[in-house]
Amino acid sequence: MMLTCCTVCHDQLPDTAEVYACEACAYRLRAMLLELPGHMPLLAELLQPGSRLPGRGGAGRAHSPMPVRLDVMDLLGPGHIVVLADPHGDQSAGIPITPLLYGWARYIAASCPSVTRDRHGTVRIQPCDGPYSRHGSDAAAWCQWLIAYLPYAVTQSWIGDMYQQIEDLIRRVRDKTDRKPQRTQRSAPCPECSWLKLVSIEGEPHIVCEACGHRLTADEYKAHSAAVLPALTALAIRIHGQAAAEHPAA
């Protein structure tokens, strides 16, 4: 039976949707997988002891030099994982990038039967041997592989686990490279709580209220701001004009 709520954000899904994640969450997951490879060269640079990306903190080392930075090594290092071995535990903590991505690719490949046609034209459906990427076996290749399989992944009940683990991973990576998605403050107040807390976040299809969590699509925001902004602007000009009249510049 299909759920009626998104397993990631718990928003209502359309009744007819045969998926476990809403469009916005699928979009965000794709955006995270697109973003991840861009961090890899920065992490490789950070691997050197005492290295620090431009603009991060002061100079000088607090610890004696190590052959490599262990905190970055944790992310880049080799490893082998079985995803969903412990679906209720926080098992993604500390898993390096490529093994986590490859672990999901392997999991998806194992659950998604491969359909081939032999030379006599007979269709053969059999379990897949394992994921294969034409683009190699690094993090970027597995990100691309996972993006290609997202339409299948969202139809599976474990999509919420995959989302959470990738989100946790990207958070750990951003924390090291100090590259956060761009946020832009929007000028209209939130239609739900009236606070001026609506922001657009890079890789996020919605405009989100940071005070109450309300979300608007781009079209909804457009309609909302067109309805409220002219009146608010007129009010602001009037208040400003009044203040200027009461307190004329000396």
Footprint on this chain of Zn ion (rule: CB under 5 A): 6, 8-9, 11, 22, 25, 190, 192-193, 209, 211-212, 214
> Which lies closer to Zn ion via its Cβ, residue 181 or residue 191?
191
Tell me the closest approach of the beta carbon of residue 214 to Zn ion, in angstroms.
Answer: 4
How many whole angstroms separate alpha carbon 146 and alpha carbon 155?
14
Close Cβ partners of 179 (under 8 Å, ≥ 6 residues apart): 38, 39, 42
User: Which residue, among 203, 168, 5, 169, has the nearest Cα to 98 in the 3D structure?
Assistant: 169
Tell me the closest approach of the beta carbon of residue 4 to Zn ion, in angstroms.
Answer: 12
Tell me the closest approach of the beta carbon of residue 188 to Zn ion, in angstroms.
Answer: 11
What angle is formed at CA 203 by the lines to CA 41 and CA 136, rounded to 5 degrees? 40
> Which lies closer to Zn ion via its Cβ, residue 51 or residue 217?
217
> Which lies closer to Zn ion via its Cβ, residue 108 or residue 190?
190
Radius of gyration of the chain (CA): 24
Tell me the closest approach of the beta carbon of residue 7 to Zn ion, in angstroms.
Answer: 8
Structure tokens at 209: 């209220």
- What phi and psi, each to the nearest 5 degrees, are found at residue 126? -145, 160
Tell me the closest approach of the beta carbon of residue 85 to Zn ion, in angstroms.
Answer: 25
> Which lies closer to Zn ion via its Cβ, residue 52 or residue 197?
197
Q: Which amino acid is at 170?
A: I
Tell me the closest approach of the beta carbon of residue 155 to Zn ion, in angstroms.
Answer: 14
Encode burial over 100-133: b for 16+ CB neighbours within 10 A, e otherwise. bbbbbbbbbbeebeeeeeeeeeeeeeeebeebeb
Structure tokens at 93: 């903590």
> Which lies closer to Zn ion via its Cβ, residue 22 or residue 32?
22
> Which lies closer to Zn ion via its Cβ, residue 141 or residue 154?
154
Per DSSP, the three-state class of 103 is helix
